[in-house]
Structure 1
């Protein structure tokens, strides 16, 4: 098998990341009816806070299953995304979201310190996500206030 490296534009890489985020919002189903896992390379890595690093599609699927079991619904706010494109395979997307978690609803900015703001760092090559590191506060319902005394004054 020959090693291929298809040259992609920033817009093409961004389109793969958007397809992933939209599939996440639709229960792991892509716009063509496929699995969200189809968007990942076989040896991809995904990091999620308080879960850790998932290596390969099998672990990524397990991670998404664990996360999906805690969330009832999520919507990413696409119109407000900030894309930080590097001209290479690696780039970042910053945005907000809202939805409902088993512990309650959330919306970015309500309250201002709560969950809903996130930043994903992607590596996309050959039309597949090679790496996606997700940075956010996984306390969607804002229940973890006892450990942060400043939250009790807001």
Structure 2
């Protein structure tokens, strides 16, 4: 891991998170036309449910390619984000989204138990994402219902 050479404010860390999320909404392309992977440190880690832990840009690129390859379109609801700042390198962002997965559309709150609500925990230093753990239901189209009896009650 690289030595910390720049002190960042919470607002600066927030700007990195927003650039990351907007790049997802833009097919993996940042506002400057670069790759979303440019936002990551070389030895960064990303966790995604049902995929696991990716370490380094090569594995992160594979994770994003495999997961992103199933998503036709996504839009994050920026005006509804909740932010938690730790006073250190950690930023937590909770939010909602809608879009279309290859298996069908989703929108947070429709149905209430469905996909679209998420929470990401970031560590950001030197303008690079060092770590992001993504917490969400990866069943975007809501097809995994048979295993949950409360969903069968309608």
In the alignment, the residues of structure 2 paired with residue 63 and residue 4 of structure 1 have an alpha-carbon distance, to the nearest angstrom, of 27
Scaled by the length of structure 1, what TM-score is found? 0.97
In the alignment, the residues of structure 1 paired with residue 153 and residue 59 of structure 2 have an alpha-carbon distance, to the nearest angstrom, of 40
Instruction: Could you tell me which runs of 5 or more consecutive residues in structure 2 were left unpaired when the two chains were aligned.
Output: none
Q: 1:148 and 2:114 equivalent?
A: no
Residue 112 of structure 1 is matched in structure 2 by: 112
In the alignment, the residues of structure 1 paired with residue 110 and residue 37 of structure 2 have an alpha-carbon distance, to the nearest angstrom, of 32
Runs of 4+ in 1 over 3 A off after TM superposition: none
Instruction: Could you tell me which runs of 5 or more consecutive residues in structure 1 were left unpaired when the two chains were aligned.
Output: none
Residue 102 of structure 1 is matched in structure 2 by: 102
Residue 139 of structure 1 is matched in structure 2 by: 139
Q: Retained in 1: the 8 A contact 2:123–2:131?
A: yes
CA deviation string 1:53-77 (max 9, x = no partner) = 0000000000000011111000000
Paired residues, number: 153
Q: Retained in 1: the 8 A contact 2:4–2:125?
A: no
Q: 1:28 and 2:41 equivalent?
A: no
Residue 11 of structure 2 is matched in structure 1 by: 11
Scaled by the length of structure 2, what TM-score is found? 0.97
* SS of aligned partner of 2:147: coil
Residue 130 of structure 2 is matched in structure 1 by: 130
- Across the aligned residues of Structure 1 and Structure 2, the Cα RMSD in angstroms comes to 1.0
CA deviation string 1:113-151 (max 9, x = no partner) = 000000000000000000000000000000000000100
